Amino acid sequence: MSSPFRLEFEPKPFDKKIQIGHQMMLMGSCFTEHIHQRLESYKFPCLQNPHGILFNPISIFTSLHQYLDESTIGPDDIFEVQGIWRNWNFHSSLSSADKSTALSSMNDAIQQGASFIKKANWLILTLGSAFVYYHKNEIPVSNCHKVPVTEFTKKLLTPENIILAFEQVYQKLRHVNPSLKVILTISPVRHLRDGFIENNRSKAVLINAVDQICTQQEDVLYFPSYELIIDDLRDYRFYAEDMVHPNYLATKYVWTKFVQTAFEGSAKEVLKELEDIKNAYQHKVLHPDSSEYQTFRTKYRKKIIELSERFPQMDLQNELLHFS
């Protein structure tokens, strides 16, 4: 018997499952965007990274505290660098050359996060790095905002640092939204600016911390996106040209495993129906006036209407209009 070309990894199914209509809040590294795009395409109510992309656990937890406390950013909380107004806790995408615009964008993001976290069914946190930059040895920052590196001290968190910080924000989460379930995952993106060895040390800290958190908290689950890319696929053909970020094939593979692991059976069936509708939506029409196409259009219009009636929380208006 010949050896397999690779060893496939099958994550253990979750005891608690995602259902159609569940509201999903996602925060963390750029890998979060891939999962969010797919959830959104399948009509799940989602909110992704109100603060912008965040890489380290402390920044993610700090942002969550701001949502849960419904805190606000004042004029003294932002600073100007190269003509742009910024805040240490926010990604540069929320910065602006106009001070009032920057303040408004940041406070709107906090209110958006505060509103959504109260009603979310799931919170998915993707941890990217255990390294944190501290401005002048005191303030942990989410983004260095082009400030000279000499003004920062770089530190590697310990698992204990992460566990304690998570416990503090988790208690607030449970108070504000007792039914909320949390999924922790570790980004498979390598942070090679830290160095190969340093990146592995960083991921090891995250893996250790997350394992202890999930052991201690029954409503906190672990999805192994890191292991699926690093240990299952294990090949540079699954990476983008930079050889760091997973490509479309890799993220699609992770998504497929996520559905198998986390979704309720009936939800999986609905995803298949939506996939069929999406494929039909993208179908190139050569003869729109033909009877064949009219039959095709009627079939899918009926299918969309039936799906909308079964799941009124799903917005299928664009799909319905396409087949009108």
What's the rounded Cα separation, in Å, for the pair 33 and 19?
20
Range 161-173 average pLDDT: 98
User: Does residue 243 sit in the same domain as residue 108?
Assistant: yes
pLDDT at 195 over 80: yes
What's the rounded Cα separation, in Å, for the pair 217 and 264?
21
Angle at 153 between CA 197 and CA 205, to 5 degrees: 40
Considering the chain, what percentage of its residues have pLDDT values greater than 90? 81
User: Does residue 233 sit in the same domain as residue 313?
Assistant: no
Question: Which helix (DSSP H) or strand (DSSP E) does residue 1 occupy?
Answer: none
User: Does residue 57 sit in the same domain as residue 184?
Assistant: yes
3-state SS assignment for residue 25: strand
Rounded alpha-carbon distances, angstroms, from residue 279 to 200, 252, 273, 310: 40, 16, 10, 21
Is the pTM higher than 0.85? The answer reads yes
User: Does residue 159 sit in the same domain as residue 242?
Assistant: yes
Residue 2 falls inside a structural domain = no
Longest dimension (CA), the chain: 72
How does pLDDT run across 228-263, given as a tens digit for each residue? 999 999 999 999 999 999 999 999 999 999 999 999
The confidence score (pLDDT) of residue 1 equals: 44
The confidence score (pLDDT) of residue 226 equals: 96
Range 113-125 average pLDDT: 98
Range 30-45 average pLDDT: 91
Residue 97 falls inside a structural domain = yes
How does pLDDT run across 204-234, given as a tens digit for each residue? 999 999 999 999 998 999 999 999 999 999 9
How does pLDDT run across 285-300, given as a tens digit for each residue? 888 889 988 999 999 9
Residue 227 falls inside a structural domain = yes
Asked if residues 89 and 51 have their Cβ atoms less than 8 Å apart, the reply is: yes
DSSP secondary structure code for residue 18 in this structure: B
Angle at 87 between CA 204 and CA 136, to 5 degrees: 65
Range 264-291 average pLDDT: 90
Residue 10 falls inside a structural domain = no
Torsion of CA 174, 205, 251, 122, to 10 degrees: 0
Considering the chain, what percentage of its residues have pLDDT values greater than 70? 98
Q: In whole numbers, what is the pLDDT of the chain averaged over residues? A: 93
User: Does residue 188 sit in the same domain as residue 55?
Assistant: yes
How does pLDDT run across 71-100, given as a tens digit for each residue? 999 999 999 999 999 999 999 999 999 999
Angle at 173 between CA 214 and CA 184, to 5 degrees: 30
Residue 3 — pLDDT band, cuts 50, 70, 90? low
* Separation of first and last alpha carbons in the chain: 55
77: CB partners within 8 A, 6+ apart: 87
The bridge status of strand 84-86 relative to strand 79-81 is antiparallel
User: Containing domain of residue 300, as a range?
Assistant: 265-324
Torsion of CA 259, 262, 267, 271, to 10 degrees: -20
